[in-house]
């Protein structure tokens, strides 16, 4: 991504990260946990959610993260494991939804030949949201995928995921440095991107 692309993509990155973390906090709050509200995370204000390194990685490598929303599952109504699964899913799903809305908007902008700047901005919004969604599904702590995996496993096997928490960040750094993440997730990001563009084009007609 060139300098112009980085500058144009910044609003898309801020929105993608903010929506992702807000979704986590909102679902946790609706399940009965007031922690995200007390910590000021029930907002789309990027300043409440940004992690400097994660944001920089999104700009450079298209894979990154925001400041995690703190959640206390003991406050959840009903099944705690299912609650954490829903909270974890909320982030990636919110980004897919934003990407779909972006796809519809992109097709409308192209159809009506709107200024290229806005077309590029929406394009970056789609690709950033898709990348963030796919990246966060990696089943390595502290990413959402690890909590989703733990929620799908039987209670007596969830510890296998939690045991990785100490080493998770180092595993992710190693995967990023060696470009293993790019090689594995690149095709998945492209596939989801193409699917969203196909669906949004079908919606526009």
Instruction: Tell me how far the alpha carbon of residue 183 is from its chain's centroid.
Output: 19
Q: Which residue has the tokens 């990023």?
A: 176
Asked if 165 is an active-site residue, the reply is no
SS3 state of residue 38 = helix
Burial class (CB in 10 A: 0-12, 13-18, 19+), 177: exposed
Report the distance separating Cα 173 and Cα 158, nearest Å. 23
SS3 content of the chain, % helix, strand, coil (to 5): 75, 0, 25
For residue 152, what are the contacts with CB-CB under 8 A and spacing of at least 6?
85
Report the distance separating Cα 68 and Cα 133, nearest Å. 15
Catalytic residue among 21, 81, 116, 165: 21
Tell me the catalytic residues: 21
């Amino acid at each position: 991504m060139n300098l112009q692309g980085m500058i144009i993509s910044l609003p898309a990155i801020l929105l993608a990260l903010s929506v992702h973390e807000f979704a986590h906090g909102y679902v946790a709050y609706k399940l009965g946990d007031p922690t995200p509200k007390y910590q000021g995370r029930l907002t789309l204000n990027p300043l409440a959610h940004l992690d400097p390194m994660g944001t920089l990685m999104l700009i450079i490598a298209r894979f990154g993260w925001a400041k995690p929303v703190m959640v206390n599952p003991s406050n959840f109504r009903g099944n705690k494991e299912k609650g954490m699964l829903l909270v974890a899913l909320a982030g990636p799903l919110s980004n897919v939804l934003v990407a779909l809305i972006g796809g519809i908007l992109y097709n409308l902008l192209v159809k009506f030949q709107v200024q290229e700047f806005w077309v590029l901005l929406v394009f970056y919004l789609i690709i950033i949201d898709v990348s963030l969604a796919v990246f966060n599904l990696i089943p390595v702590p502290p990413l959402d995928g690890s909590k989703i995996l733990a929620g799908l496993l039987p209670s007596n096997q969830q510890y296998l995921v939690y045991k990785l928490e100490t080493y998770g960040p180092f595993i992710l750094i190693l995967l990023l440095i060696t470009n293993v993440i790019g090689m594995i997730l690149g095709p998945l990001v492209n596939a989801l991107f193409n699917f969203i563009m196909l669906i949004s084009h079908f919606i526009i007609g």
